[in-house]
Amino acid sequence: MKRSVIYEKKINNYNNAYIEKSPDNYSLVKSTKHMQLFQIYLPLTINQSKNTSLSTQILDRNFKCKIANSNYKDIIEAIKCIYSVYGYRYSYRTFYYPNKFKRLMDKDRIKSYLMINEHGQIGGHAALIKSDSFRLLPEVTMIVVKPAFRGLKLSCLLLDCILEASNGLRINGLCAQPVVFHSISQKIFYDRGFVACGFLFHYLNEEVTELFSKERRLDLALCVKTINKKYVTKIYPPEEHVYFIKNIYRKLSIKCETSRYRIIESSSDFDYSFDNNLGICTIIFDRVGKDISNLIDSVIDECELNKKEMIVMYINMKNPSCNYGYKTAIDKGFIFSGIKPLSDNGDYIIVQHMLNHSIDYDVIKAEYDYKNLLEYIRLFNERN
């Protein structure tokens, strides 16, 4: 298809924000013999310096949380909050595209929250995202505070607002991925009852980490908070992690029964996807079969061919074949990195393949429960 040029389109002439003239992303919606219909995605261009908000005068400090509406005015304010901290390097690129952002809000895939004072100044933003694979365990993410408004505890207020709103949602829990190059975000979630469950090593690529003067991919922690107090589960975890896993469920106040029953299915039920922006591959096994070894080899080969830097694999512990899948993955060079409970189809154990990259545990600044969790994971992986 010949590349089109879209003339500049103003959005309510709002705060000098406008849509990019040339689209950089297309999606084929419909194709027939006589025509092709494409959805064009247009990124928002912020007509100001990334550091402009540093000189912003705070007109009042009485901020309240507002659930953003699915309109371009609120969406642009959310994007401007992200831009004020990350520029155009935030890992979830979808949120730089107003029409993508709006479509996900309309489908109830994203709930967006803004901190606004009585003078209408926007100080911060956060979001609750429901992914395709973990809809009943949405992720609290995009907690950003504009530089001029830091020190007002807006991050805490945003998270409190999300927690209050989540009590009325039909979900099992909330998850979050605080960074581990400082302890502030870990403390915010820890103080509100989130339980440390694992780590995602080397999850953020260098383009994002350059913002923090790092020369390596950044690691994230994984924490979960129970919302559905009636959630109960029966799992088939690897024997070497039974005590560790049951301790996490105890902290989550979840009734958990473990079983040593083992079975190997004839074929696997799995899915995998690539995130080209982050350079990672995600694999989700809901059932493990005898074909898992060949499947893993194929995915690793494809990752190396496409220059991916990390694989994260989730194996469903509610299936008796979990132990076989876990041991096969460990034999293939995967490392244990935690669990992700309260998901739609069950509770998952997490393993990662670093694809020839090493983990420097010493640079990870883990505090509170994350510190003990990291030590457990480190000792286990170094022994194996």
Is residue 89 in some structural domain? yes
| Bridge pairing between strands 173-176 and 139-145 | parallel
| CATH code where residue 299 lies | 3.40.630.30
Task: Show which of 206, 226, 246 is a domain's final residue.
Answer: 226
Cα-Cα-Cα-Cα torsion 194, 197, 199, 203, nearest 10 degrees, comes to -60
Do 199 and 345 lie in a common domain?
A: no
Is residue 233 in some structural domain? no
Do 311 and 213 lie in a common domain?
A: no
Task: Give the number of C-alpha atoms closer than 13 A to the C-alpha of residue 78, restricted to the C-beta side.
Answer: 31
The number of beta carbons lying within 10 Å of the beta carbon of residue 125 is 27
| Side chain identity, residue 325 | G
Q: For the chain, what is the domain count?
A: 2
* Parent domain of 149: 59-226
Tens digits of residue pLDDT in 48-79: 555 555 557 888 999 999 999 999 999 999 99
pLDDT score at 1: 34
Sign for the pseudo-dihedral over CA of 237, 242, 244, 247: positive
Do 288 and 353 lie in a common domain?
A: yes
Residue 188 contacts by C-beta under 8 Å, 6 or more apart in sequence? 155, 156, 159, 178
pLDDT score at 15: 42
Pair of tokens at residue 232: 């109960």
Task: Tell me the C-alpha distance between 235 and 347, whole Å.
Answer: 8
Is residue 249 in some structural domain? no
Do 191 and 293 lie in a common domain?
A: no
Do 299 and 377 lie in a common domain?
A: yes
Is residue 275 in some structural domain? yes
Task: Give the number of C-alpha atoms closer than 13 A to the C-alpha of residue 206, restricted to the C-beta side.
Answer: 4
Task: Tell me the C-alpha distance between 2 and 252, whole Å.
Answer: 54
Do 76 and 177 lie in a common domain?
A: yes
Do 116 and 210 lie in a common domain?
A: yes
Strand segments, DSSP code E, in the chain are 18-19, 25-31, 36-41, 44-45, 64-67, 110-116, 122-129, 139-145, 173-176, 195-204, 218-226, 232-235, 255-258, 269-275, 280-287, 310-316, 335-340, 348-353
Phi then psi for residue 99, to 5 deg, are -75, -35
pLDDT score at 133: 86
Is residue 51 in some structural domain? no
Cα-Cα-Cα-Cα torsion 353, 141, 315, 352, nearest 10 degrees, comes to 10
pLDDT score at 28: 45
Pair of tokens at residue 69: 């509406």
Is residue 13 in some structural domain? no
Residue 101 contacts by C-beta under 8 Å, 6 or more apart in sequence? 75, 78, 79, 94, 95, 110, 112
Do 93 and 202 lie in a common domain?
A: yes
Q: Output the pTM of the full model.
A: 0.84
Question: C-alpha distances in angstroms, 190 versus 123, 186, 222, 334, 353?
Answer: 23, 6, 11, 28, 28
Do 89 and 143 lie in a common domain?
A: yes
Do 221 and 340 lie in a common domain?
A: no
Do 277 and 172 lie in a common domain?
A: no
Pair of tokens at residue 52: 């402009």
Do 218 and 126 lie in a common domain?
A: yes
Is residue 27 in some structural domain? no
Task: Show which of 226, 246, 280 is a domain's final residue.
Answer: 226
Pair of tokens at residue 160: 């409190």
Flag residues of the chain having pLDDT under 70. Answer: 1-55, 205-216
Max CA distance (Å), the chain? 65
Is residue 40 in some structural domain? no
